[in-house]
């Protein structure tokens, strides 16, 4: 529906354009919601749980990949405004109108990760060389 599409576009967008709480409450998608007495609404679906941690309604997923199984040569991808040599946490964001900026940030993040890997390899090599020198003395 148009209200559903509009709601999604105004929630999944850059923060400066995102709906505020007040605007969410008056959005046409929520026109039947009584925000004052929210608990009075009957939910459209109530799961029947066997325990407090019952996950029967979730899809089965494969076990997480062991960190040792990861190939070092696999390139990371992602759009991050915070990835640099000090911060390797990927902060994903999305902006459908700015593909050039996406590519620039992805390139910068990849360069920073590549440099960090190069630095780490040099550090390990220096330790090995130092240990070899100590062993020959």
The token pair at 2 is: 């148009």
pLDDT at 80 over 50: no
Share of the chain above pLDDT 90, in %: 22
Q: Are 10 and 18 in contact (CB under 8 A)?
A: yes
DSSP 29: G
Residue 29 has pLDDT above 90, yes or no: yes
What is the reported pLDDT for 135?
A: 65
pLDDT digits (tens, 9 = 90+) for 31-52: 988 889 888 888 888 999 888 8
Q: For residue 95, give the DSSP letter.
A: -
Closest CA to 15 of 77, 93, 128: 93
pLDDT in tens, 116-133: 899 999 999 888 888 766
Helix, strand, coil share of the chain (percent; to 5): 45, 0, 55
Query: What's the confidence (pLDDT) of residue 134?
Result: 67
């Amino acid at each position: 529906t148009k209200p559903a599409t509009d709601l999604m576009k105004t929630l999944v967008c850059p923060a400066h354009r995102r709906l505020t709480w007040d605007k969410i409450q008056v959005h046409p998608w929520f026109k039947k919601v009584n925000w004052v007495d929210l608990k009075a609404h009957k939910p459209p679906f109530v799961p029947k749980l066997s325990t407090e941690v019952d996950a029967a309604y979730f899809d089965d997923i494969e076990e997480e990949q062991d960190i040792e199984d990861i190939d070092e040569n696999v390139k990371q991808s992602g759009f991050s405004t915070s990835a640099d040599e000090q911060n390797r946490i990927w902060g994903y964001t999305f902006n459908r109108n700015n593909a050039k900026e996406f590519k620039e940030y992805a390139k910068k993040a990849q360069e920073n990760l590549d440099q960090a890997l190069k630095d780490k390899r040099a550090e390990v090599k220096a330790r090995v060389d130092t240990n070899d020198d100590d062993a020959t003395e």
